[in-house]
A and B are shown apart, each in its own frame.
Chain A
Amino acid sequence: MSQAAAHHEHEHHDHHPSGITRWLTTTNHKDIGSMYLIFSLIMFFIGGAMAMVIRAELFQPGLQFVDPQFFNSMTTMHALVMIFGAVMPAWTGFANWMIPMMIGAPDMALPRLNNWSFWILPFAFTLLLSTVFMPGGGPAGGWTMYPPLVLQTGAAFPFLIFAVHFMGASSIAGAINIIATVFNMRAPGMTLMKLPLFVWTWIITAFLLIASIPVLAGAVTMLLTDKFFGTAFFSAAGGGDPVMFQHIFWFFGHPEVYILILPAFGIVSAIIPTFARKPLFGYSSMVYASAAIAFLSFIVWAHHMFTVGMPLAGELFFMYTTVLIAVPTGVKVFNWVATMWQSSMTFETPMLFAIAFVILFTIGGFSGLMLGVTPVDFQYHDTYFVVAHFHYVLVTGAVYALMAGTYFWLPKWTGHMYDEGLGKLHFWMSTISVNVLFFPQHFLGLAGMPRRIPDYSVQFADFNMISSLGGFVFGLSQLLFVVVIVKCVKGGAKATDQVWDGAHGLEWTLPSPPPYHSFNTPPAPETIEGGMR
């Protein structure tokens, strides 16, 4: 892939418009990937600002800054923005940037759909975020939207529902595009079992999206018709049942948590072998473990609702299947550790984030196991223990993997090395503060502090203050992330093609930054063999 050839390609396609029209009409996977990533970074800060409001209010017992209704809309919106606005679009952004380059394809299979699936998102989040300024305030019944509470939402209600529809449409379109790309556009010689694990985990994620998001769309449509068109899916007055919503929602909701984490497994499986300078231990077991997790994710949903009143047989079934997920997840953690075992590791920022991911995600996994055990879940249900659990798997899990991936591929994307000193500072500030932020929440939960409450009794005061302090430092530390990215985009040491000396894979055979159009002719089979090693 010589520079001259790439330059020639570029000239050939030089008709594309400039300025804002370029970004509105672009069908280039790299442009769209960048837009997804920038969008999700903005959402990360909007959702983060909401988290700061939550932690400021919880700094002390009593009501200080916001009224309870607004507090509850903050917890609700924080979750929706972070899940659907920050993490999911970020994964799609990574997929757009990396998958065509990883499989030796010139672009995504459906470039125009790709443009649409991105541009739906700003509209979806304008709808959602505008609700904060509406009479009655934003949705405040929790992101899980349980009826009948959610039906009491004010003018924000239809906006919430349509925003969820838009987000869902965007992710389904993205998922269809990714599957179509991987199934039909792989370079000759790129067999399925040679795919990088990030591609593998994304295919599995895409299937999860296609199977679960439509169910969410159905559930929220039922809420909409219940409220405005006199249906009674969840209203006891018309013969419906509010608990039914929980069953339908969590049929979506549990696969959703693996949608958020599976691509993280893929990224970590790319980073650890690079900096351990060893091939990944147990590649095929990683693929099978991911598939097993995806399958199990569809038969564990009721562990979110152990307390609604289920028969013993149901609680046992969902407990066993839930605990069973620890097996494939344990295989993955074992493989990552085995890859690092007796290797010549170096600790650049992406590797630091990846190692922290393995350790801290595992802590989140263990608290998940505790929650999966029915009898004790009756104590933990809806307490801060749950909050601590899902923030360990989502912040130090999914978000850490996103940061690891950003540091890992940033030199490839921009052609410049990022500031390693600042990157490490960002890592250590984040990792110390995130544990100060979330670890005490385990204790709060075990002591009985409920979630989604703006005030609490005084015995919870100390741990809440510690947690809030950690939260403020964590929030501020993320500004460093932006500084690193902006500095790296603007300039810095020139990155080589391979960037990291242990890096293998087709994307590292391209120049840094890669040409606007790459792999217009598929890479040679030797390149694939060599790159994959």
Chain B
Amino acid sequence: MSDTDTQQRATRRTVIKLVLATCVMFSFGYALVPLYNVFCTITGLNGKTGRMTEAQAAALPVDLSREVTVEFVTNVDAQMPWDFKPIVNKVVVHPGVETQVEFEVHNWDAGRIDGNAVPSVAPNTVAKYFKKTECFCFTQQTLAPGETRRMPVRFVVDPRLPPEVKVLTLGYTFFQSLKPVAENAAAALPRS
């Protein structure tokens, strides 16, 4: 009988370890979210653009021998009652020189709306060389009914940008903030 006991105890130990492993892997699934984000921020992958303080931007060396065209594209999520456009469609900059451009957004809905702009840079493999010191995408934007707002973006192109890259595209998509959806989860259910 003690043989069976030993076997049962061993089985229990195995099971405890395996259940723990299952829990660890479930958490790991969730941990992948911040891990991928950190990975993308460090490498600048996935169009995640870098942030810089004004002081850091000013300390960058200036390369006047090179010109880089920065283009701007804007999108608004299909369900969002906003207009959104850049004031200029493209600028030509020297790497290391800080530049300011403006975007205009207009809320044509009858209600106040919160929006978030999500930036991305193409080609995404060089997104890490595009640094912003100020951006309306850093914070949520709330627009009153009929309100129009001009919003600045200050950026600098890192002189370490690979020489073969001559054009960068900065894209923004405005999404309505998720809060109203969260307040009424039932609304997310489809109507048949």
Contacts and interface: CB of A to CB of B under 8 A. Distances in A.
Interface stretch (B16-24, B54-62, B150-158): B16-24
A238 B116 contact: yes
A186 to B, nearest CB: 10
Contacts of B26: 214-215, 217-218
Interface in A192-220: 210-219
Contacts of B32: 215, 244, 247-248, 251
A318 to B, nearest CB: 14
B69 interface: no
B15 A155 contact: no
Interface stretch (A172-180, A344-352, A437-445, A484-492): A172-180
A243 B48 CA distance: 13
Interface in A223-281: 227-230, 232-233, 235-239, 241, 243-244, 247-248, 251-252
A233 B11 CA distance: 38
A239 B118 contact: yes
Nearest to A234: B33
B190 A210 contact: no
B188 interface: yes
Interface in B58-99: 77
B178 A238 contact: yes
Nearest to A309: B124
Given A230-B182, A248-B32, A176 B18 contact: yes
A239 B116 contact: yes
B43 interface: yes
Interface in A135-194: 135-136, 154-155, 172, 175-176, 179-180, 183-185
Nearest to A182: B14
B175 interface: yes
Interface string A92-135: 00000000000000000110000000000000000000000001
A236 B29 contact: no
Given A136-B192, A179-B18, A184-B10, A215 B29 contact: yes
A183 B16 CA distance: 13
Contacts of A309: 46, 124
A311 interface: yes
A210 B177 contact: no
Interface string B32-47: 1100100000010110
B33 to A, nearest CB: 6
Given A215-B32, A217-B26, A236-B173, A155 B118 contact: no
A312 interface: yes
Nearest to B7: A184
> In the complex, which range does the number of interface residues on chain B fall in?
35 or more
A238 B10 CA distance: 47
A244 B125 contact: no
B52 interface: no
Contacts of A230: 178-179, 181-183, 185
Contact of B29 (A154, A219, A310): A219
Nearest to B124: A309
B14 A183 contact: yes
Contact of A180 (B15, B23, B43, B118): B15
Contacts of A243: 46
A237 B11 contact: no
A252 B185 CA distance: 29
B167 interface: no
A311 B28 CA distance: 24
Contacts of A215: 25-26, 28-29, 32
B140 to A, nearest CB: 11
A312 B183 CA distance: 42
Contacts of A216: 29
Interface in A266-322: 309-312, 314
B190 to A, nearest CB: 4
Contacts of A228: 185, 188
A364 to B, nearest CB: 28
Contacts of B125: 311-312
Given A214-B29, A229-B182, A110 B15 contact: yes
Interface in A313-358: 314
B176 interface: yes
Q: Sorted from nearest, which 4 A-B pairs have the closest CB atoms?
A: A230-B182, A218-B29, A237-B175, A135-B192
22 contacts: A135-B192, A136-B190, A155-B192, A176-B22, A184-B11, A185-B11, A214-B26, A218-B27, A218-B30, A222-B30, A228-B185, A230-B183, A235-B175, A236-B175, A237-B116, A237-B118, A237-B178, A241-B46, A248-B32, A311-B124, A312-B125, A314-B45
Given A210-B25, A211-B21, A236-B175, 11 more contacts: A176-B19, A212-B25, A215-B32, A216-B29, A222-B33, A229-B182, A230-B179, A237-B176, A237-B178, A239-B118, A248-B33
Interface of A: 109-110, 135-136, 154-155, 172, 175-176, 179-180, 183-185, 210-219, 222, 227-230, 232-233, 235-239, 241, 243-244, 247-248, 251-252, 309-312, 314
